[in-house]
Amino acid sequence: MKTCIQSPPKGIPLNIFAIILQLHFAVTLYLIGLIWIVQIIHYPLMKYVEPARFVAFEKEHCQKIAPVVAPAMLLEGALSFLVCYQVFAEQIGTGAVVASTIGLILLGFIWFSTFAVQVPIHNRLAEGLNIDLIAKLVRTNWIRTVAWTLRGFNAGYLIWAYHLWAEGLKTP
């Protein structure tokens, strides 16, 4: 039951936090759509680029994908930390605490995979067409594809848990 007198927020004002949760979900959904397009369409098609044009193609790919991905990844990271901070500060519920923590862990997997696996593969592909490296890129990119997809469910759950909590209902 929701009471008329609520204690002041311990962290971010709750109306602002609701917007942060929605923005967090939207940015994560954007990145999910992007990673699935890259995983299912873009990376597999790389093997069809003519060897003589591949170095230029790879350079162009890296230059054009960075401004599409990097700002969203940075924003998602910042929003994820804000969400986790607020969930802990407000003690929104055990489920939300677990979900926000899992969200950060998944984000860690994504960032680690990006900079320890995919970027080095792209650096090697910048030297020339290599079908085995492209296959490895597709195979290892499933880490990010699955992790971002799970983050989408996670971000949706956090919105649901927050609304239950804000209405004074017990969160799962």
Please answer whether residues 40 and 142 qualify as being in contact, where contact means their C-beta atoms are separated by less than 8 angstroms: no
Distance CA 9, CA 69 (A): 33
pLDDT at 165 over 90: no
Kindly state whether residue 1 falls inside one of the protein's structural domains: no
Q: Is residue 92 part of a domain?
A: yes
State the virtual CA torsion across 94, 96, 98, 103 in degrees, nearest 10: -170
Instruction: Name the more confident of 128 and 1.
Output: 128
Query: Would you state the pLDDT for residue 9?
Result: 53
Enumerate residues 6+ apart whose C-beta is below 8 A from 76.
24, 27, 28, 31, 107
**Looking at residues 154-170, what average pLDDT do you find?**
84
- 7 is a domain residue: no
Predicted pLDDT at 171: 57
pLDDT of residue 168: 75
Q: What pLDDT shows up at residue 172?
A: 58
What are 64-74's pLDDT values in tens digits? 999 999 999 99
The reported pLDDT for the residue numbered 87 is 83
Q: Is the pLDDT of residue 79 over 50?
A: yes
In a domain? residue 24: yes
90-105 pLDDT per residue, tens: 777 788 899 999 999 9
pLDDT tens digits, one per residue of 9-65: 567 778 888 899 999 999 999 999 999 999 999 999 999 999 999 999 999 999 999
pLDDT score for 169: 63
pLDDT at residue 94, rounded to an integer? 83
In a domain, 9, yes or no: no
- Is 99 a member of any domain? yes
- When divided into structural domains, the chain yields a total of 1
Q: At what angle do helices 94-113 and 51-90 cross, to 10 degrees?
A: 160
pLDDT of 4 > 60? The answer is no
* 104-152: pLDDT as tens digits: 999 999 999 999 999 999 999 999 999 999 999 999 999 999 999 999 9
5 assigned to some structural domain:
no
User: Which residue segment(s) compose the domain that 80 sits in?
Assistant: 14-166
Whether 172 is in a domain gets the answer no
